[in-house]
Structure 1
Amino acid sequence: MNPKYNESPFFYHRRKTREVKVGNVGIGGENPIRIQSMITSNTRDTDASIIQIQALENIGSEIVRLTVPSQADADNLPNIRKRMKELGLKVPLVADIHFTPQVALKCVEWVEKVRINPGNFADKKKFDIIEYTDREYEEELERIEEVFTPLVLRAKELGVAMRIGTNHGSLSDRIMNRFGDTPLGMVESALEFIRIAEHNNYKDIVVSMKASNPQVMVQAYRLLVSRFYELSMDYPLHLGVTEAGDGKDGRIKSAMGIGALLEDGLGDTIRVSLTEDAVAEIPVARELVKKYNDLYMKSLGKESTTYQEFRDPYAYSRFYSKELMLGETGLGDKHPVRVETEFPFFGLESVAEIQSANAKGVQTSKQNEIVFFDFKDELALTAAASLKRKNQIPNPIGFTLSDELAMQYDSLAEEIFGLQKWVVSPFLFFDATNPDSIEWNQFFDFVGNYAKDKRAVEFCLEANQISSVNHILNECRKRKIQNISFSLAVPDLLETRKLAYALKDSDYPICLCGTFATEEEALYTCSIHFGGLLLDGIGDSLRIRLLDKDHTATLSLSYDILQATRFRLTKTEYISCPSCGRTMFDLQSTTAKIKAYTSHLKGVKIAVMGCIVNGPGEMADADFGYVGAGIGKVHLYKGKEIVVKGISEIEATERLIDLIKANGMWVDP
């Protein structure tokens, strides 16, 4: 397999693609990353559709999608276009098609782009197990070509673009039997349709690889682009985490999957799928693309022989680090990714804050995690010593120092902290360009004295100091300092990959840390950079700090990020779609109702889907599913198996709870 999925995993390069025009909006090429959304109204309802299209255009959605599930919906597209013209609405429209090739042929006359799902455009999904011979498989492809070609030719004739949008939850039985429920299956599903289009000399194509699990989504897009490199294809990418959910969790998942790929230089248009009003998606999308559109087509570095790929970017494998013990709390090795809590310490007035840390979960519900204090001066150290003697500081603990306080008050620090952890930025003490300098040796002599009795030291570096890692390791070896870890002072996915590369042969743990002015800044930055690194298997602990904020907000964010990666499930996991015209019930209120009854079920995964397009497939990633089956009707699933059919929406939530109980996964609130 071609290991290349971008120009470099260590430097930012936006992938060069062909331009695909959607009306007057260009995707790919020299264009900025476009943002788009989808209306949730029934396409047969002209007034409701126009209200939502207008709202999305006004808030800045550059492309608007609507679902067209039937001929009646397609027949109303002329009315929608007429009203748009009367109101001066110019945003390009995309028709979303599933199961109905003939409806697609009607839609292509009235929209600027058609989205087809290769998993169900010409195939049916029944979860059948069929063994295909090579000849039988070829015959199926010939059948698909016969069904798909008329749409390709008409789109080509009219200058209408197309998105070939693979969804992890709706791969066809044919693909599932040949490739499995895998990123490879997602990629091959799309390539089958791309080859048919190219056979007809049609290339106005955008491609997507969506999944509700950011891990699967990221791997699928990378694998797709690696195949594009092999096949000399340059199609733009539409990025999205499907069924991301609502609120903070939906934003974290979306930022994690979309942002990690944008950091890799991949992506030409994005859609954030939230179980909220469609207009709520646009500010989130704008926040995600802002940095990369500011960079525009710039590259922020060039490939060098210093850094070479050391991961398998297409499959998860944790970057191994040796065990580092902080009292009874372990980092690295087989331990889970730890959550560290850091908050300012200004003296005796912080007693209440320290006690609050205990009460709010640092030692109780968040067992065996780590509390850090940021000491600013001698007063803070003295106050901490007093609190330690009174047993008012929780364990295990660590401390950070921004100047030479540790070296000035080492005996006091020793009294306070015992077998704990010191986060130090050695390059704040001196210019480390000369590792033979007196200052360098004095510093490491002190570190060696501190690190006796297995106390740990974390070296917090600036990005431009990664080249000094070998010098630090050599000094530690000379003094037999073994309990060390590393971090970068500023969150940066690409730079942290360089740090991991520098440590790949020494196996020391890596802490992902950062300090932020606002919760919103922390949410997006940490979801993109820390989340993306965790998906790569890099990172043994998280330490997120908000300036002048209650530290419990950072605890929540840390655990929410780990929840989104599926590495530590500390609450109920919800997979819920953003609703569209196919949804037969109010998805937002239904999701809220189900959450109200089930949000205490730690680690249980529940999917809430508006219809069967992706529902059954995504059930495979959920423990239980609540899927719309018609007006006021619901199917209940266990995994991907229907266990209750066509029940009334009124009783569906209660029956879902009964199903969870019957499978031994219910606990009382």
Structure 2
Amino acid sequence: MNFRYNHSPFSYKRRRTREVKVGDIGIGGNNPIRIQSMITADTRDTENSVRQILELERIGCEIVRLTVPSQPDADNLPNIRKELKRLGSKVPLVADIHFTPSVALKSVEWVEKVRVNPGNFADKKKFAVRDYSDAEYKEELERISEVFLPLVSRCKELGVSMRIGTNHGSLSDRIMNRYGDTPLGMVESALEFIRIAESIGYKDIIVSMKASNPQVMIQAYRLLCSRFLELQMDYPLHLGVTEAGDGKDGRIKSAIGIGSLLEDGLGDTIRVSLTEDPIHEIPVARLLADKFNSKIPPEADGISYSEFRNPYTYQRFYSRPVNIANVLIGETHPVRVETVLPFSSSSDFNSSLANLRNFAKALSLDVELVSVPFPDDPALREELIESAGSSPIPVGVLVERNELLYADDTEDLKPFAKVVVDPFHHFQNGDLLMDFLKTREGRGMTELRVQSYQIESLKGLPEMLQSNGIESVAFSLHSSHILHDYRKLAKILSDWDYPIVLNGEFQDEETALYEASIGIGGLLTDGIGDILRIRVPSAEPETVLQLGFDLLQATRLRLTKTEYISCPSCGRTLFDLQSTTARIKERTGHLKGVKIAVMGCIVNGPGEMADADFGYVGAGPGKVHLYRGKEIVLKNVPYEEADEKLVELIKSSGMWVERESLETF
């Protein structure tokens, strides 16, 4: 298998694509990363549709999408276009099409771009199991071509572009039976439609591979780009994590999926899908796009490093198990969260630790590891050693001064369960480093943290550690290029089994949320990392602790709270998605590890929530279908009763826990 999907996994360089025009807006080529969103108004409601389009345009949205589910919706597009023209709007419009080729042919006359979903444009999804012979499969493709080509021909005549947008949740039964519910199935679904379009010379195409799980989404885009390289296709990419949810969780998922792909040089236009008013999507998208629109490729391009992963599937980077005062890391143990606390006195430290533990307990989280900066003052060191010895949580120290350690320093470091040192700045030579590490064996773990510019100097160090019998060692970096530099570190360590600590240091909470999601979140989806440590000096330790666990939740590595899959709403939505999601969260937010999907309609419903335990899906005006997994358990439940019926369904499935019992525990 070809593992190449971009210029290099170890440095930034944007993928070269053709330019595709959406009205006057160019996507791909030398254009900046474009920002788009989707209105939630009913497309038959001219006034509200125009109002939302203008609101998005005013705050910097460059392309606006509308859902066009039926003929009456398509019939109203001329009215929307006329009113926008009267008001001086120039933003290009995109018609979002599912199920209805005839509606697509009507819509294409009034928009600059059409989005089709290859999973349901000419195919059905009934979760049917069937084996297709090659001849039968070919016949199906010929049938699809007959349905799809009239739209392609009209787009070509009018100069209208097209997004071929695969959704993980709505792969056709035909694709599912041949390729499974996989990134490969997503890619092949899009390629089939691309080949049909190319058969008549149409190439004004943009492609997307969306999923609610950032890990699946990332793998699918990488695999698509690998296939594009093989097939010499250069179509631009539209990036998005679908059904990302709302609030902080929705922003973290979006930053992990969209941001880490942009960091790999992939992506030409983005949409952040939040279960909030569409205008709230634009600042998030702008923050992500601006970071990369101004990014300059480094002079050192990482070519000296070679791929060490399978980038299309998740496999955890193996490391040996290490015991840190009865907290096990590495091997099959969960990725741990380390919290940094200040130390000015024993009483202040004990108070901070108690507050942190109480906060964590209220959220069903654990305080697993704590570290503090190693004091220079000898008296304060003695106080810290005493506090660490009596702490119920393993306490480590971070040596942060940029000078050599002397004998009294190394002696004071011996008692701690975990010590973070710089092997190049704190020790005069390799022999002194080895002597120190030998004294630490059996006492705890030593983390060797190096500056990013010294990564190359690590080559040969694992061999030295092995020859000296040093085992209780982990590696970390101090870097502002977290994703690429840690991949270099992982490559250097790929023939060894030393744990890796993902270290990120940020100036404020917002920067931490986005940069940690892109860098640390991206690495977690690669299977890299045994401990994560985020430092934000201006933030409360409780906020930083929760961010660490939120990253693990978003990457599906540790579910420490209820997981919600909720769509961003659109004109197809059959109830108020924001208030409904808020109500369901209020009732079920204490169910640790339970996955609940809240979908406004059936388009992405059963499939996109395929890995959810329960689903709440709009079925018609005032009606809701309730699912257990992929199975409809209750049909057409009155909207007023649906919340309670969902709770009853969770209880009957044995996955309900009362809030009181959790608090007592």
TM-score of the aligned structures, taking structure 1 as reference length: 0.95
Unaligned regions of 5+ residues in structure 1, if any?
431-438
Q: Are positions 1:423 and 2:420 aligned together? A: yes
Would you say the 8 A contact 1:373–1:399 is kept in 2?
A: yes
| 1:339-364 deviation per Cα after TM superposition (whole angstroms, max 9, x unaligned) | 11112223354442233234333899
| 1:285-331 deviation per Cα after TM superposition (whole angstroms, max 9, x unaligned) | 111122210026x4654353x31111100111111111111121111
- 1:650 is matched with 640
Structure 2 letter corresponding to 1:407 = Y
Q: Secondary structure in 2 aligned to 1:76?
A: helix
Q: Secondary structure in 2 aligned to 1:295?
A: coil
Match for 1:566 among 542, 552, 556? 556
Would you say the 8 A contact 1:346–1:375 is kept in 2?
A: no
- 2:384 is matched with 384
Q: Are positions 1:489 and 2:478 aligned together? A: yes
- 1:276 is matched with 276
Q: Are positions 1:542 and 2:532 aligned together? A: yes
- 1:661 is matched with 651
Q: Are positions 1:524 and 2:521 aligned together? A: no
User: 2:252 and 2:121 mapped to 1: Cα distance?
Assistant: 31
Would you say the 8 A contact 2:338–2:370 is kept in 1?
A: yes
Match for 2:334 among 333, 336, 339? 336
Would you say the 8 A contact 2:271–2:285 is kept in 1?
A: yes
- 1:185 is matched with 185
Match for 1:323 among 321, 324, 339? 321
Would you say the 8 A contact 1:11–1:300 is kept in 2?
A: no
User: 1:106 and 1:520 mapped to 2: Cα distance?
Assistant: 44
Q: Secondary structure in 1 aligned to 2:282?
A: helix
- 1:436 is matched with none
Unaligned regions of 5+ residues in structure 2, if any?
660-665
- 2:662 is matched with none
User: 2:299 and 2:466 mapped to 1: Cα distance?
Assistant: 34
Q: Are positions 1:17 and 2:17 aligned together? A: yes
Q: What is the CA distance between 1:470 and its match in structure 2? A: 2.9
CA RMSD of aligned residues (A): 1.8
Cα distance change of structure 1 residues 60 and 372 upon mapping to structure 2, 3 Å threshold: same
Q: Secondary structure in 1 aligned to 2:194?
A: helix
Q: What is the CA distance between 1:133 and its match in structure 2? A: 1.5
- 1:265 is matched with 265
Structure 2 letter corresponding to 1:36 = Q
Counterparts in 2 of 1:88-103, with a 5 A limit? 88-103=88-103
Counterparts in 2 of 1:116-515, with a 5 A limit? 116-295=116-295, 298=297, 301-304=300-303, 306-348=304-346, 349-361=348-360, 365-367=364-366, 369-378=368-377, 379-388=379-388, 391=390, 393-403=391-401, 407=406, 409-410=408-409, 413-414=412-413, 416-417=415-416, 420-429=417-426, 439-441=428-430, 443-490=432-479, 492-515=482-505
Q: Which moved more, 1:486-495 or 1:520-529?
A: 486-495
Cα distance change of structure 1 residues 415 and 204 upon mapping to structure 2, 3 Å threshold: closer
User: 1:399 and 1:237 mapped to 2: Cα distance?
Assistant: 45
User: 2:187 and 2:20 mapped to 1: Cα distance?
Assistant: 20
Structure 2 letter corresponding to 1:342 = V
Would you say the 8 A contact 1:12–1:300 is kept in 2?
A: no
User: 2:425 and 2:501 mapped to 1: Cα distance?
Assistant: 19
Q: What is the CA distance between 1:160 and its match in structure 2? A: 0.4
Cα distance change of structure 1 residues 3 and 451 upon mapping to structure 2, 3 Å threshold: same
Q: Secondary structure in 2 aligned to 1:345?
A: coil
Q: Which moved more, 1:175-184 or 1:109-118?
A: 175-184
- 1:433 is matched with none
| 1:620-641 deviation per Cα after TM superposition (whole angstroms, max 9, x unaligned) | 1100000001111100111111
Q: Are positions 1:533 and 2:532 aligned together? A: no
Would you say the 8 A contact 2:415–2:443 is kept in 1?
A: no
| 1:589-612 deviation per Cα after TM superposition (whole angstroms, max 9, x unaligned) | 000000000000010000000001
Structure 1 letter corresponding to 2:625 = H
Q: Secondary structure in 1 aligned to 2:433?
A: helix
Q: Secondary structure in 2 aligned to 1:592?
A: helix
Would you say the 8 A contact 1:166–1:210 is kept in 2?
A: yes
Q: What is the CA distance between 1:13 and its match in structure 2? A: 1.3
Would you say the 8 A contact 1:619–1:637 is kept in 2?
A: no
- 1:637 is matched with 627
Q: Which moved more, 1:466-475 or 1:95-104?
A: 466-475
Q: Are positions 1:86 and 2:101 aligned together? A: no
Q: Which moved more, 1:535-544 or 1:489-498?
A: 489-498
Q: Secondary structure in 2 aligned to 1:426?
A: coil
Cα distance change of structure 1 residues 106 and 425 upon mapping to structure 2, 3 Å threshold: same
Structure 2 letter corresponding to 1:624 = F
Q: What is the CA distance between 1:450 and its match in structure 2? A: 3.6
Would you say the 8 A contact 1:206–1:236 is kept in 2?
A: yes
User: 2:176 and 2:519 mapped to 1: Cα distance?
Assistant: 32
User: 2:216 and 2:179 mapped to 1: Cα distance?
Assistant: 15
Cα distance change of structure 1 residues 388 and 406 upon mapping to structure 2, 3 Å threshold: farther
TM-score of the aligned structures, taking structure 2 as reference length: 0.95
- 1:29 is matched with 29
Structure 2 letter corresponding to 1:71 = Q
- 2:581 is matched with 591
User: 2:429 and 2:561 mapped to 1: Cα distance?
Assistant: 46
User: 1:441 and 1:618 mapped to 2: Cα distance?
Assistant: 53
Q: What is the CA distance between 1:207 and its match in structure 2? A: 0.2
Cα distance change of structure 1 residues 263 and 300 upon mapping to structure 2, 3 Å threshold: farther
- 2:612 is matched with 622
Q: What is the CA distance between 1:474 and its match in structure 2? A: 4.2
User: 2:199 and 2:340 mapped to 1: Cα distance?
Assistant: 58
Q: Secondary structure in 2 aligned to 1:423?
A: strand
Q: Which moved more, 1:453-462 or 1:283-292?
A: 453-462
User: 2:201 and 2:371 mapped to 1: Cα distance?
Assistant: 61
Q: What is the CA distance between 1:155 and its match in structure 2? A: 0.5
Tell me the number of residue pairs that the alignment of Structure 1 and Structure 2 aligns: 655
Q: Secondary structure in 2 aligned to 1:344?
A: coil
Would you say the 8 A contact 2:118–2:164 is kept in 1?
A: yes
| 1:637-658 deviation per Cα after TM superposition (whole angstroms, max 9, x unaligned) | 1111111111111000100111
| 1:164-188 deviation per Cα after TM superposition (whole angstroms, max 9, x unaligned) | 0000011111111111111111111
